[in-house]
Chain A
Amino acid sequence: AQKITQTQPGMFVQEKEAVTLDCTYDTSDQSYGLFWYKQPSSGEMIFLIYQGSYDEQNATEGRYSLNFQKARKSANLVISASQLGDSAMYFCAMREGITGGGNKLTFGTGTQLKVEL
């Protein structure tokens, strides 16, 4: 079974509009972390935002916010006021367990976002 599911292979959004990228996850751990990464066409992976399973508030980082719904096991990324530079592949990822040694990230299949004028 997929641990991280991103159901939107591709998304389009108009410049200056908000967009939501979906992510659902599956884990039996009580303690886990959820991440979003951006991968522009150049290939580097850029960390965007993190949400811990015990965090009561939704994480925000500038124009990025994470809509965390624990009961639904969803961790959607919201990008407000989209810019042309936001065009990229976006990956949702999960780290299970506490921050012990070697905890690995499991990634979703990604969503390709295209911002249009």
Chain B
Amino acid sequence: DVKVTQSSRYLVKRTGEKVFLECVQDMDHENMFWYRQDPGLGLRLIYFSYDVKMKEKGDIPEGYSVSREKKERFSLILESASTNQTSMYLCASSLTGNRNYGYTFGSGTRLTVV
């Protein structure tokens, strides 16, 4: 069964900590995405990557960075966590040229910054 795996389901971090959220997919997908989900705001794109070592800013990149050293892994980094980054983070991947498949999502990481 194809999968996108996020390393943690729940995470509690302190303000100012550097936080790594990991995402791994086993489908050989070129494209990977990080979204955050907040009540009433839906899913908002933070960063995405369409190839190894490539990254593009999404709609809300401030306070975040990403790393994609290998095709299957896409990491989201909070350089100095703040309470307003408390949220659900969703990773997704997709295959270029696959017209109607859309995304495969991970199960999400609920991050609380205290």
Work out how many contacts link A and B, with CB atoms closer than 8 A.
75
Assess the A99–B98 pair: CB atoms within 8 A: yes
Residue of A whose beta carbon sits closest to that of B58: A104
With beta carbons under 8 angstroms apart, the residue of B30, B31, B44, B100 that contacts A50 is: B100
Assess the A101–B42 pair: CB atoms within 8 A: no
Query: Using Cβ atoms and an 8 Å threshold, which residues of chain A touch B107?
Result: 42-44
8 A Cβ contacts from A96-117 to B: 99-110
> Nearest Cβ in chain A — how far from B27, in angstroms?
14
Assess the B102–A47 pair: CB atoms within 8 A: yes
Encode contact with A along B7-47: 1 for CB under 8 Å, 0 otherwise.
00000000000000000000000110101000011111100
> Nearest Cβ in chain A — how far from B93, in angstroms?
11
> Nearest Cβ in chain B — how far from A63, in angstroms?
18
Query: Using Cβ atoms and an 8 Å threshold, which residues of chain A touch B50?
Result: 101-102
Bound: A100/B99 CA distance, A? 9
Of the four ranges (under 10, 10 to 19, 20 to 34, 35 or more), the interface on chain A belongs to 20 to 34
| With known contacts A106-B45, A107-B42, A99–B96 Cβ distance under 8 A | yes
Assess the B108–A43 pair: CB atoms within 8 A: yes
Bound: A91/B105 CA distance, A? 13
A–B Cβ pairs within 8 angstroms, 23 of them: A9-B40, A37-B105, A43-B88, A43-B110, A44-B107, A45-B90, A45-B105, A50-B99, A52-B99, A52-B100, A91-B42, A93-B43, A99-B97, A99-B99, A101-B30, A101-B31, A101-B50, A104-B45, A105-B33, A105-B103, A107-B35, A107-B43, A109-B42
- Please give the residue numbers on chain B whose beta carbons come within 8 Å of chain A beta carbons, in ascending order: 30-31, 33, 35, 40-45, 48-51, 54, 56, 58, 88, 90, 92, 94, 96-105, 107-108, 110
12 more A-B residue pairs beyond the given contacts A100-B96, A105-B33, with a C-beta to C-beta distance below 8 A: A47-B101, A50-B100, A50-B102, A91-B42, A102-B49, A102-B50, A103-B94, A104-B45, A104-B58, A105-B45, A105-B92, A109-B42
Cβ-closest 3 pairs across A and B: A102-B50, A45-B105, A101-B50
